[in-house]
Structure 1
């Protein structure tokens, strides 16, 4: 049971990802989470309003199992496989986050200052979450996929567009964390 409670080393998890990606490539499937949003919109009837969502949902049902597995796996991991709720990040990062007002830094996976019912009474939190959600959705659509789709599936297929997208994701993440994040959350 201890093997489930510790992070797996790269030499186990990496080959497992490669094995799964090999099966998907051989089956002609592409992995990514953002494509499921398209499928959910199509199932919800968005095709009545725009032709973009008029897609064959049956051919994409297998990927909805990935979402279900992610939700179930995340729940199981948080509920039963995480004996210590503390997040393994550096003390320097925890100190910087606490300076920005995130007192829950290092003790929880999602900062309660943004992701709790109490925090939703703040208009600033609503604005941050709505703008962030819009930017993630726009970026995913503009890049033609999400980080998991490009970084895992696209790079496995040696797609140049995925390499460019992944480089862009990393640069954007660095800009956000080092410059924008402190601007947004400095009181």
Structure 2
């Protein structure tokens, strides 16, 4: 009976379910969907005496605990979905990234993504799901370039590093 839960869901089921999170979140909380801002909240909570203006004492991270709980829920949901609700659990990180070059690639990529997220005013989820739903032109432009960057990385840059 629950076999359908263990199989990958088709796009026409999962896509609308993700899309429905936008109006539900806005109606219930009046807030936008986004994960990238949680790094600031977690940083401010973990480093309360820092001199960094971005994480200063005047910043009230407690007002954003909802976002931190959301991120923890995403991590727990990913774990449950992969290991408990999957007929064949997948690896979170492909084997290539266990090598020294792979670790450097993950580190450099993480810094670039963090910088890009801050520079773009949000992450791919925030812009693509929330921003486009709100008819934000900047989010549409950002999403187009997310895809362009992904295509360039996949077809031209990644083959330089993976034989």
Is the shorter-chain TM-score for this pair beyond 0.5, marking a shared fold? yes
Counterpart of 2:31 in structure 1 is: 29
Stretches of structure 2 that go unaligned for 5 or more consecutive residues are none
Runs (4+) of structure 1 moved beyond 6 Å? none
C-alpha separation between the residues in 1 aligned to 2:103 and 2:8?
Answer: 33
Q: CA deviation at 1:15?
A: 3.1
Q: Per-residue CA shift, 1:44-79, capped at 9, x if unaligned? A: 226732222343222211111221111111111121
Aligned residue pairs, count: 159
| Deviation per residue, 1:130-155 (Å, 9 max, x gap) | 21111111111111111111111111
| Distance of 1:47 and 1:20 partners within structure 2 | 36
Compute the displacement of 1:109 (Å). 4.8
The answer to whether the 8 A contact 2:26-2:32 is kept is yes
Residues 16, 126 of structure 1: alpha-carbon distance in 2 compared, 3 angstrom cutoff: closer
Q: TM-score, normalised by structure 2?
A: 0.86
Distance 1:24 1:48 in 2: 33
Is 2:7–2:87's contact at 8 Å kept on the other side of the alignment? no
Taking only aligned residues, the RMSD between alpha carbons, in angstroms, comes to: 2.0
Aligned mates of 1:130, 1:13 — CA distance in 2: 31
Decide whether aligned partners of structure 1 residues 46 and 151 sit closer, same or farther in structure 2, where only a CA change above 3 A counts. Answer: farther
Could you state the TM-score of these two structures normalised by the residue count of structure 1?
0.76
Which is helix-richer, 1 or 2? 2
Conserved 8 A contact 2:34-2:126: yes
Task: Give, in angstroms, the shift of residue 111 of structure 1.
Answer: 1.0
What's 2:160 paired with?
183
Q: Which shifted more, 151-160 or 5-14?
A: 5-14
Consecutive unaligned residues of structure 1, counting only runs of 5 or more, are 87-107
Q: Distance in 2 between matches of 1:147 and 1:47?
A: 31
Q: Is 2:132 the counterpart of 1:155?
A: yes
